[in-house]
């Protein structure tokens, strides 16, 4: 197996456990709510606390990754989040669980800002969309497994043991990732220029803030992340509370829907984006915008339809359309940022999309649910998806020029 392919599949495996550990909390919301006597607002804040720590630490890891060994940083992060997940099963109070989820955020921040940059250096631009789509395929698969394992384990051994069991495999992954070779940071080009002086590198960082495609991409991903964060945290609870399903059944159904729709949507988006790129320079924005726009009526249907079967079909279609953007939008970050600061570009992207996205949406949904009901709270998702689609279509006007003018080794 080629080194780039081996790197891709190993990082896919780590990303898989990343999302298992991240999503398992949502699968046991009802059990945690009962056991610790929590409100919906407190449950939502558990998700938000994780995201606030995650996004706050990510830029620091991004800067370190542009100067230090990226595999070692990732190995450290994987170890931290895995231990924190396992220890979350031992908590006896809401405050302790809050601290545990915050520590998970620290560990995952090192990985989220570093892995896409490594893959962007390992694969040439023509193949980045598909490579990042495969890597991102771990998001729906890991999320689905988080829901499935959480539901099954909670029913069999309780939610505390569930946290412990999904956290343990991370120890092996941490050691394996820490021993990886770091791809050359200039597209594996030995003739690339030497590292730039500090003043020039600062100018590179500031340049991100003046690159319209980068900013519009961040705004589009923010809207998408806001919607997805709120839905991911609350859909199993919605199926139990509003649609009358048992918790294990809700996690099983939602997990399977996420698995199939996520894999299909993510791979289709990466393939479509790369296939259209030769004819439509802004294909990455086009595919993402079309998918997000089509997800809007599906999200509304989840709330408005009365028949449970049609509601589940609407959830499935919404996820397919949302996941179309995963590979293309991540590829845009790489293609409009200098290779010397690519990890920082991803880290800043992480900070923006989560600070204004899923760091606040689970809590907002919980607060609205406490006051007006969960069905009313769900309306935030279609609105956020509509905004995300508009930013993608806007980005089509600037992407080709930005990608062409950004100096980077390919």
Query: What is the pLDDT at residue 204?
Result: 60
- Residue with the bigger pLDDT between 288 and 173: it is 288
Indicate if the pLDDT at residue 69 is higher than 90.
no
For residue 343, is it within any domain? yes
| pLDDT tens per residue, range 356-391 | 888 888 889 989 999 999 899 999 999 999 999 999
Count how many Cα atoms sit within 13 Å of the Cα of residue 94 in the half-sphere of its side chain.
17
- Residue with the bigger pLDDT between 118 and 97: it is 97
Q: Give the global pTM.
A: 0.71
For residue 329, is it within any domain? yes
For residue 192, is it within any domain? no
Q: Say how far apart CA 154 and CA 260 lie, in whole Å.
A: 23
What is the overall mean pLDDT for the chain? 83
With both helix axes pointing from N to C terminus, report the angle between 94-122 and 29-36 in degrees, rounded to the nearest 10: 150
Mean pLDDT of 146-162: 86
For residue 280, is it within any domain? yes
- Report CA Rg, the chain: 20
For residue 91, is it within any domain? yes
**Helix-, strand-, coil-residue percentages of the chain, each rounded to 5:** 80, 0, 20
- Residue with the bigger pLDDT between 103 and 195: it is 103
Q: Which pLDDT band, with edges at 50, 70 and 90, does 194 fall under?
A: very low
Q: Count of domains in the chain?
A: 1
Question: What range defines the domain where residue 154 resides?
Answer: 3-185+207-405
Query: What is the pLDDT at residue 133?
Result: 74
For residue 288, is it within any domain? yes
In the chain, what percentage of residues exceed pLDDT 90?
A: 19
Q: Say how far apart CA 132 and CA 134 lie, in whole Å.
A: 5
Query: What is the pLDDT at residue 407?
Result: 54
- Residue with the bigger pLDDT between 327 and 295: it is 295
Q: Say how far apart CA 138 and CA 133 lie, in whole Å.
A: 9
CATH of the domain at 28: 1.20.1250.20
**Which residues neighbour 143 within 8 Å (Cβ) at sequence distance 6 or greater?**
19, 20, 22, 23, 232, 255, 258, 262
Q: Say how far apart CA 407 and CA 189 lie, in whole Å.
A: 14
In the chain, what percentage of residues exceed pLDDT 70?
A: 90
Lowest mean pLDDT among 166-170, 245-249, 289-293, 404-408: 404-408
Indicate if the pLDDT at residue 89 is higher than 60.
yes
For residue 286, is it within any domain? yes
Q: Which pLDDT band, with edges at 50, 70 and 90, does 290 fall under?
A: very high
8 Å CB contact between 218 and 224: no
Q: Say how far apart CA 164 and CA 258 lie, in whole Å.
A: 23
For residue 194, is it within any domain? no
Mean pLDDT of 46-59: 79
Residue 394 CA to its chain's centroid (Å): 23
Q: Which pLDDT band, with edges at 50, 70 and 90, does 285 fall under?
A: very high
Indicate if the pLDDT at residue 297 is higher than 90.
yes
| pLDDT tens per residue, range 300-317 | 999 999 889 999 999 999
């Amino acid at each position: 197996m080629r080194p780039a392919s081996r790197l891709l599949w190993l990082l896919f495996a780590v990303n898989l456990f990343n999302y298992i550990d991240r999503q398992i909390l949502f699968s046991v919301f009802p059990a945690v709510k009962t056991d610790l006597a929590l409100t919906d607002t407190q449950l939502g804040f558990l998700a938000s606390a994780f995201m606030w720590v995650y996004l706050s630490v990510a830029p620091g890891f991004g800067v370190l990754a542009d100067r230090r060994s990226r595999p070692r940083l990732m190995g450290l992060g994987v170890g931290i989040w895995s231990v924190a997940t396992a220890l979350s099963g031992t908590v006896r109070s809401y405050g302790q669980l809050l601290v545990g989820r915050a520590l998970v955020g620290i560990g995952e921040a090192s990985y989220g800002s570093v892995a896409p940059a490594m893959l962007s250096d390992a694969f040439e631009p023509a193949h980045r969309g598909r490579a990042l789509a495969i890597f991102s395929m771990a998001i729906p698969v890991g999320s689905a497994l988080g829901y499935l394992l959480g539901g099954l384990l909670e029913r069999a051994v309780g939610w505390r043991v569930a946290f412990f069991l999904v956290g343990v495999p991370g120890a092996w992954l941490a050691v394996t990732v820490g021993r990886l070779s770091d791809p050359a940071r200039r597209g594996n080009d030995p003739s690339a220029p030497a590292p730039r002086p500090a003043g020039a590198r600062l100018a590179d960082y500031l340049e991100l803030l003046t690159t319209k495609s980068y900013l519009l991409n961040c705004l589009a991903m923010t809207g998408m992340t806001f919607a997805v964060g709120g839905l991911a945290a609350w859909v199993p609870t919605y199926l139990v509370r509003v649609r009358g399903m048992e918790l294990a059944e809700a996690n099983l159904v939602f997990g399977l829907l996420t698995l199939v729709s996520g894999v299909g949507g993510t791979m289709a988006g990466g393939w479509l984006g790369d296939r259209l790129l030769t004819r439509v320079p802004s294909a990455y924005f086009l595919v993402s915008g079309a998918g997000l726009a089509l997800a809007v009526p599906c999200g509304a249907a989840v709330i408005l339809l009365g028949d449970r079967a049609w509601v589940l079909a609407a959830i499935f279609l919404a996820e397919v359309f949302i996941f179309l953007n995963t590979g293309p939008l991540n590829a845009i970050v790489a293609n409009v940022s200098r290779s010397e600061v690519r990890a920082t570009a991803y880290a800043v992207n992480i900070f923006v999309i989560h600070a204004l996205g899923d760091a606040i949406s689970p809590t907002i949904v919980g607060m609205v649910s406490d006051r007006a009901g969960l069905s009313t709270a769900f309306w935030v998702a279609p609105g956020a998806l509509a905004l995300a689609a508009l930013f993608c279509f806007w980005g089509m006007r600037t992407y080709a020029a930005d990608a062409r003018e950004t100096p980077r080794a390919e």
